[in-house]
Amino acid sequence: MLNTTLPNPSVTVRSEHGQTTLGSLHVHIRKTFPAFTLETDFTFSPGITILFGASGTGKTTLLDCIAGLTTPDSGRISIGDRVVFDSEGNINIPARERHAGYVFQDLALFPHLTVESNVAYGISGIHKEERAQRVATILQSLEIAALGSRRPAQLSGGERQRVALARSLVTEPCILLLDEPLAALDLPVRMKIAEDLRRSVQNLPIPVLYVTHSRDEVFMLGEKLLVLEKGKVIAHGTPHEVLSAPRGETVAQLAGFENIFDAQVASIHEDRGTMTCRVGSPRFESAQVELETPLVRAEESSRMRVGISAGDILLATSAPVGLSARNILPGRVLRLHRGNRFG
């Protein structure tokens, strides 16, 4: 089990541009691009927050704005009690002074440097003895002390990921930004490293923002979840709250709801917290089926979309008994498909 520590939340970090008391991260910014406009107003408290969404929705751009690598058109960013960007106040603290740890998707390790030198690179300005001690401590805590003299090409994918994390943590950042750091790993390795990563950062007294496309990583790592679409936050909450009962079609698709149908509200049962929806073409009553669904804000006869996860469908060769399932429908198997081929 990894054991990574950072200063407690009352610690103050000083720099030439002022001091920062560790705490929450507040981001209220706007940045316009040809394809979308990134616009967010959110406070990230200490702990892991997952940024989830399709490619090109603004997740990495949001990290870049926080880190100081991209300048928003307008807004304000504060880390703890320290403002690092304010368009009205003409404040834009350089990236090197924001005390943000950033693990990039490609990890960005220097191929010609050893593990120890890669990790020490971000703290080259401190005394040699203190630098060596901090590097040794972080390598030990991430269980890669034995790799100190190796170069990145001599490491496995999981080992390189830990080195990149160590390089960010050794600077004792006020926030930690991780942009799909496990994307290049095979699934078994990714799940193992994700669990190690969760253990190493979950108790840090700083906000940790983690970008991913993987639902497995969302549930394994996330305490909080933000879903982005075209630069806007369209859902937030715990992973279970957001993905188990999605409130929109985009979130349903990201959550893995493979079956999404047009439907009409037939009746509402507020006492049971459900409603009955007719699924199928309204022109052919014989082709419609009725499903009991969770109650959402809707009126009778209104149109909506109903999503059903493949994992929620059970097949039986005879009428099931003793189940709590609300929807039991007769059907016929038309085709069988291998793997993920449909159609």
pLDDT digits (tens, 9 = 90+) for 213-272: 888 889 888 789 999 999 999 999 999 889 887 878 888 888 878 788 888 999 999 888
Answer yes or no: is pLDDT of 2 > 70: no
* CA nearest neighbour of 51 among 165, 179, 171, 152: 179
* CA nearest neighbour of 134 among 245, 5, 308: 5
The pLDDT of 22-30, averaged and rounded, is: 90
Give dist(CA 210, CA 288) in Å, integer: 43
Domain range summary for the chain, segments of one domain joined by +: 12-99+172-251, 257-343
The pLDDT of 40-55, averaged and rounded, is: 93
Answer yes or no: is pLDDT of 131 > 80: yes
How far is CA 23 from each of CA 99, 191, 317, rounded to the nearest angstrom? Answer: 13, 29, 56
Give dist(CA 47, CA 7) in Å, integer: 14
Answer yes or no: is pLDDT of 5 > 50: no
For the stretch 107-123, what's the b/e string if a residue is b when 16 or more beta carbons lie within 10 angstroms of its beta carbon? bebeeeebbbebbbebb
Q: State the DSSP H helix or E strand holding residue 262, giving kind and residue range, or none if neither.
A: strand 259-269
Q: pTM to 2 decimals?
A: 0.77
Place of tokens 């002390």: 145
Tokens standing for residue 157: 């994918």
pLDDT band per the 50, 70, 90 thresholds, residue 13: very low
Least trusted range by pLDDT, from 8-12, 66-70, 258-262, 313-317: 8-12
> How buried is residue 83: exposed, middle or buried, by Cβ count under 10 Å (0-12/13-18/19+)?
middle
Could you give the 3-state DSSP secondary structure of residue 34? coil
User: What is the CATH code for 12-99+172-251?
Assistant: 3.40.50.300
Give dist(CA 17, CA 92) in Å, integer: 10
Q: What angle do CA 38, 43, 47 make, to 5 degrees?
A: 115
Could you give the 3-state DSSP secondary structure of residue 145? helix
What percent of the chain is modeled with pLDDT above 90? 46
Give dist(CA 316, CA 79) in Å, integer: 55
Answer yes or no: is pLDDT of 80 > 50: yes
Q: What is the reported pLDDT for 286?
A: 58
More confident call, 71 vs 323: 71
DSSP string, 75-129: EEEEETTEEEEETTTTEE--GGGS-EEEE-TT----TTS-HHHHHHGGGTTS-HH
CA 111 to chain CA centroid, nearest Å: 28
Could you give the 3-state DSSP secondary structure of residue 293? strand
Tokens standing for residue 194: 């994700």
Q: What is the reported pLDDT for 11?
A: 41
Give dist(CA 312, CA 333) in Å, integer: 17
Give dist(CA 153, CA 264) in Å, integer: 58
Mean pLDDT (the chain, rounded): 86
* CA nearest neighbour of 212 among 182, 237, 189: 182
Q: What is the reported pLDDT for 297?
A: 82
Alpha helix ranges (H) inside the chain: 59-67, 115-120, 128-141, 157-169, 187-201, 215-221, 239-244, 249-254
Place of tokens 């600077």: 171
Answer yes or no: is pLDDT of 343 > 50: no
* CA nearest neighbour of 72 among 91, 54, 57: 91
